[in-house]
Each structure stands twice: as structure tokens, then as C-alpha cells.
């Protein structure tokens, strides 16, 4: 029998659903539509933070070389200066890091020679963040 328009969706009792990301997933994860208080636990591969720091250093070197020629390089360097120290803290502030990554990607989009390196930073740092 259909519930009709004014009836809420059924909510199962019992424990809530959780999402566990083991680092081998290739797409977005979504818990069941009726679940509440969903949590996600990331299991990062060993060396993930180091790889992110390495990609930041690679991009920083490219941007340093271009900083005299391209004003966008200075903006991108400021974003990197904000991103890098946050990776070593336990609470990475995902919202702020996502905003900084967007700022970095936008600034680097105007410099064709660093777009790939900026995308590498974006991917390696975003992999450290919870997917919500």
C-alpha cells in the first residue's frame, strides 16, 4: 500500500549506517537514503600525506619560477602557504581546505604550464579529506 504524499519515509530502527573508505574506491560514496547520523572513516594509504606534501613542493617550485612573470602565481603560492601546514594537523578543517584547493585550482588555471601540477595537488590533498 503506498504511503501517500504526506507520510514520511520509513526509518529503520537500530544502529546507523557508516561508510568506510579503504582508499580503493573510485567514486563517490553515499549511505542509504533513509539513514541518519551517517559517519565516514577514511583509511589512508601509508605515505598519503607525504605524497601530498611532495606534490605541493613540486607545484611550489614551478610557481616560484613563474612568480615574476605571472601575477596569478603569487595568489597560488598564498593558497599553497595555507594548505601545506594544515596537512600535518589532526583536524584538517575539510571545508577550509576545499576552499583553498578551489582557490589554488582557479589561480593555476590561468597558467597553462602548471595546470597538471595543480591538479596533482588537488587530487592528493582531496584524497585526505572526508567525502561529504
pLDDT value of residue 129: 82
pLDDT at position 27 over 70: no
- Other C-beta atoms closer than 10 Å to the C-beta of 87 total 17
Label residue 66 exposed, middle or buried (CB < 10 Å: 0-12, 13-18, 19+): middle
Label residue 119 exposed, middle or buried (CB < 10 Å: 0-12, 13-18, 19+): middle
Domain ranges in the chain are 1-43, 48-126
Per-residue confidence at 3, pLDDT binned at 50, 70, 90?
low
- Other C-beta atoms closer than 10 Å to the C-beta of 36 total 10
pTM: 0.65
> What confidence tens digit (pLDDT) does each residue in 60-89 have?
999 999 988 998 999 999 999 999 888 877
> What confidence tens digit (pLDDT) does each residue in 91-116 have?
778 888 999 999 999 999 999 999 99
pLDDT value of residue 17: 47
Percent of the chain residues past pLDDT 70, beyond the cut: 64
Q: CA nearest 82: which of 65, 62, 107?
A: 107
Amino acid at each position: 500500500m503506498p504511503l501517500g504524499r504526506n507520510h514520511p519515509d520509513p526509518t529503520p530502527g537500530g544502529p546507523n549506517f557508516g561508510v568506510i573508505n579503504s582508499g580503493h574506491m573510485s567514486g563517490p560514496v553515499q549511505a542509504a537514503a533513509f539513514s541518519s547520523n551517517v559517519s565516514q572513516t577514511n583509511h589512508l594509504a601509508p605515505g598519503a600525506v607525504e605524497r601530498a606534501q611532495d606534490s605541493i613542493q613540486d607545484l611550489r617550485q614551478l610557481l616560484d619560477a613563474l612568480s615574476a612573470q605571472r601575477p596569478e602565481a603569487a595568489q597560488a603560492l598564498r593558497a599553497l602557504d595555507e594548505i601545506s601546514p594544515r596537512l600535518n594537523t589532526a583536524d584538517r578543517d575539510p571545508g577550509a581546505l576545499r576552499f583553498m584547493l578551489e582557490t589554488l585550482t582557479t589561480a593555476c588555471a590561468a597558467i597553462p604550464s602548471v595546470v597538471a601540477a595543480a591538479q596533482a595537488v588537488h587530487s592528493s590533498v582531496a584524497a585526505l579529506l572526508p567525502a561529504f
